[in-house]
Chain A
Amino acid sequence: MANARALFDGETSMSGQSDSDTVLRGVLQDVLGLSRERAAAFTSDTGLFGHLPELDSMAVAGLLTEIEDRLGIVIDDDEVDGEMLETYGALLAFVQAKRGG
């Protein structure tokens, strides 16, 4: 539990061991100001960019930088496209592939 709490609080130190899904929900929860319950209710079909008005390019940039920092990965610009940001499932698949590779 301490681990999960630290993640939600923006700590990066322990994120190496935690799973991408938890971290990603945590970041989206923080960026969108959602309750933990709402973030937990995201399914792979939940629409992101283009579906959530608050997720403009500035917010997406902050989201990606935060994902990089919390998961210790680097996301190149040319990897970022509409498809990757279209749904929660697509973003999660991208992050998981990135961590596996």
Chain B
Amino acid sequence: MIAAWPGAAGEELAVAFDKARSRRVLVLPAWFDEGNKLRHFTVEVMRRLDGAGVDSFLPDLPGCNESLAPLHEQTLDGWRSEAAEAASYFAATHVLTIRAAAAIAPVLPGWRYAPQAASSQLRSLLRARVLSAREAGREDDRQTLLAEGRERGLELAGYRLGPAMVAALADGELTQAGRQRDIAQGDIGGPGLWLRAEPDHDHHQADALAAILSMELLV
């Protein structure tokens, strides 16, 4: 179930349900704090796809999860080309992006689950930093932090982002879906698990997303 794939900075790991079937979905996980909150859900969706006869692959992008590459050296363009590399290595026929990962989708048919602009993702992280600084009696503001981040990089919610990544996130609007179809949280039902203050799981939501994908894959 754990596979390896060749990233630019060395070997990276992936969760893989690979039985050499004809439909193979590359799953690009949510980022940062949202990635933690959605990982259980994401793997449960893959488990259901496996049961429905669909292979799927969840790669660690460089700097994320088990990756040994330093996060602060990563860029959005780098992640984009790594996602394309993983797609090609695993011979993916489709892609499923989760939340802000929509920004790095390779050119494949597929879906964008609850897509969010990279700039909105950054806005939440900056706000969390401002609020926690205030609790500690320091005054920060988002504009100053962002300017500093564009120049020297920034640590946000425990994630050390380099200047190129901060700049790319700040300017990252949600692009047109291209070859993917957007699946809104309303299509799944229930509140988005990335919103939950504590990580949680809802198997009904995993059922619903996997059902949408398998129905469209198996027709």
Contacts and interface: CB of A to CB of B under 8 A. Distances in A.
Nearest to B202: A33
Interface stretch (B82-90, B122-130, B211-219): B122-130
Interface residues of B, number: 30
Contacts, number: 78
Interface stretch (B3-11, B60-68, B187-195): B187-195
B130 A77 contact: yes
A10 B186 contact: yes
A58 B157 contact: yes
A60 B132 CA distance: 10
Determine the main DSSP class of B at the interface with A.
helix
Interface string B194-205: 111110100000
Chain A interface residue number, banded: 20 to 34
Interface string A45-81: 0000000001111111111111001000000011010
A10 B192 contact: yes
A27 B128 CA distance: 17
A57 B195 contact: no
A30 B127 CA distance: 19
B192 A33 contact: no
A9 B141 contact: no
B141 A77 contact: yes
A11 B197 contact: no
A61 B125 contact: yes
A31 interface: yes
Determine the main DSSP class of A at the interface with B.
helix
Contacts of B181: none
A8 B186 CA distance: 8
B128 A58 contact: yes
A40 interface: no
A6 interface: yes
Contacts of B142: 77
Contacts of B192: 10, 30
A57 to B, nearest CB: 4
Given A9-B186, A65-B123, A57 B196 contact: no
A58 B132 CA distance: 8
Contacts of B198: 33, 54
25 contacts: A9-B189, A10-B114, A10-B185, A10-B186, A10-B191, A10-B192, A10-B195, A11-B185, A11-B186, A30-B192, A32-B196, A33-B191, A57-B131, A58-B33, A58-B132, A58-B157, A61-B124, A61-B125, A62-B128, A62-B194, A66-B195, A69-B120, A77-B127, A77-B130, A80-B127
Interface of A: 6, 8-11, 27, 29-33, 54-66, 69, 77-78, 80
Given A33-B197, A60-B131, A80-B131, 20 more contacts: A9-B189, A9-B191, A10-B114, A10-B186, A10-B192, A10-B195, A11-B185, A27-B195, A30-B192, A33-B191, A56-B132, A57-B128, A58-B128, A58-B132, A61-B128, A61-B131, A69-B120, A77-B127, A77-B130, A80-B127
